[in-house]
Every structure is written in C-alpha cells, then in structure tokens.
C-alpha cells in the first residue's frame, strides 16, 4: 500500500538511484511493516532548475538533497515513523547520502484512497 517517491539530482548514477530505492524499501519493511510484496516506487531525477531545496533550512548543511515522499495508509505510530526516518539516514549513508541531505515527508490516507487496478477501491469495504 505505500507509494514511495524518491527525488534526487540527476548526477547520481542509475545504479546508485536503484540502491537508494532498494535501501528505502528495506527500511520501510523493517519499520513500517507493509506486506512483503507491496513495492511501488517512483524515482525522479529532475534537472537542477526543477530541484529546489533550501541549503540551510532548520540548521542543515544541504549539498546534494534526496527527497523521500511516502504515501501510506493511516495507522503507524510516531515511534515507527521516527524509526523510518533514522533507518533511512543510516541506510543511505553508505550510498553517499549525508543525513543533512535527507528530506522525508509522510502523507497518510484511508483505505478508500487506493485503487490498484480495475477501477476499484482495492482496500475499502465492498471493493
């Protein structure tokens, strides 16, 4: 059910982009507990004119930001979310993503908000 979107600079090579996506999925499985086969990800690498992240907002030293947007069904605890953020920072570091460069936003929704095909509300009662 989660949909994960990674936005990073095009200077990161395709193999590194995939490694970051794989690491994000592994952290998500460990901390947020979606079903094992529930992997839906988008990787975007817009040119620098379309990628804006303030370099020092909230005291960070951003040099090469990676944005992680995760849309998921409501119900995770604050501790699970904090573990997700920390897990991403730890997993991304060996891939060349500094913790100051990691930006994460979670957007929660309800069962009715998902359709995985056939024009049906996949998780809603009566689907």
Instruction: Write out pLDDT tens, residues 92-117.
Output: 999 999 999 999 999 999 999 999 89
Instruction: Write out pLDDT tens, residues 67-94.
Output: 999 999 999 999 999 999 999 999 999 9
Terminal CA-CA length for the chain: 15
What is the greatest pairwise CA distance in the chain? 49
- The pTM of the full predicted model, rounded to 2 decimals, is 0.93
Residue 109 pLDDT? 96
CA distances from 127 to 1, 38, 108, 110, 117 (A): 15, 18, 20, 14, 11
- Residue 107 half-sphere exposure toward CB, CA atoms < 13 A: 8
- Name the average pLDDT for the chain: 95
Active centre residues (catalytic):
2
Which domains can be identified in the chain, with CATH numbers? 3-111 (3.30.429.10)
Taking each continuous run of H as one helix and of E as one strand, the counts in the chain are: 2, 4
For residue 127, name the pLDDT band (cuts at 50, 70, 90): low
């Amino acid at each position: 059910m989660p949909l994960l979107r990674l936005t990073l600079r095009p200077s990161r090579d395709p193999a590194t982009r995939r490694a970051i996506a794989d690491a994000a999925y592994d952290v998500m499985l460990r901390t947020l507990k979606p079903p094992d086969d529930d992997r839906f990800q988008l990787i975007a690498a817009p040119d620098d004119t379309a990628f804006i992240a303030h370099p020092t907002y909230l005291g960070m030293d951003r040099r090469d930001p990676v944005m992680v947007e995760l849309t998921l069904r409501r119900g995770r605890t604050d501790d699970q979310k904090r573990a997700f953020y920390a897990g991403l920072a730890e997993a991304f570091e060996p891939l060349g993503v500094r913790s100051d460069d990691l930006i994460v936003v979670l957007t929660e929704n309800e069962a009715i908000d998902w359709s995985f095909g056939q024009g049906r509300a996949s998780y809603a009662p009566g689907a």
